[in-house]
């Protein structure tokens, strides 16, 4: 079995390539989708994020405010590392 990882910045063509792989019969695992799933309210990633960043990272529905989280972590490499250490193991599992 061949294992391929798609990486790249915004608008670099990852989605188009993944769709082509699907069309050709490949299995595609989208880490962004998995990350959103583990960060849903009540899920382990949600709890870890609230523990690391506090309840102010939540919106009025108590969901993780992804825009607010992005502002924080992309402005501070240490916070980005903290987020990655919290969420990546859950995505890999």
Of 38, 23, 29, nearest to 3 (Cα)?
A: 29
Q: Is the pLDDT of residue 36 over 90?
A: yes
Question: What pLDDT does 1 receive?
Answer: 82
CB contact set of 44 (below 8 Å; sequence gap of 6+): 38, 90
Main-chain phi, psi angles of 64, to 5 degrees = -65, 125
Of 60, 70, 64, nearest to 45 (Cα)?
A: 64
pTM for the full predicted model: 0.77
Span 78-92, mean pLDDT? Answer: 94
The pLDDT-based confidence of 76 (bands split at 50, 70, 90) is very high
Question: What pLDDT does 89 receive?
Answer: 95
**48 near 58, Cβ under 8 Å?**
no
Question: What pLDDT does 9 receive?
Answer: 83
């Amino acid at each position: 079995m061949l294992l391929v990882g798609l990486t790249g910045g915004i608008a670099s063509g990852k989605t188009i390539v993944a769709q082509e792989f699907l069309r050709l019969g490949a299995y595609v695992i989208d880490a962004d989708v998995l990350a959103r799933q583990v960060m849903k309210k009540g899920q382990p990633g949600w709890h870890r994020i609230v523990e690391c960043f506090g309840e102010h990272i939540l919106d009025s529905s108590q969901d993780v405010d992804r825009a607010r989280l992005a502002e924080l972590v992309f402005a501070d490499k240490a916070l980005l590392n903290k987020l990655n250490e919290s969420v990546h193991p859950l995505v890999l599992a």
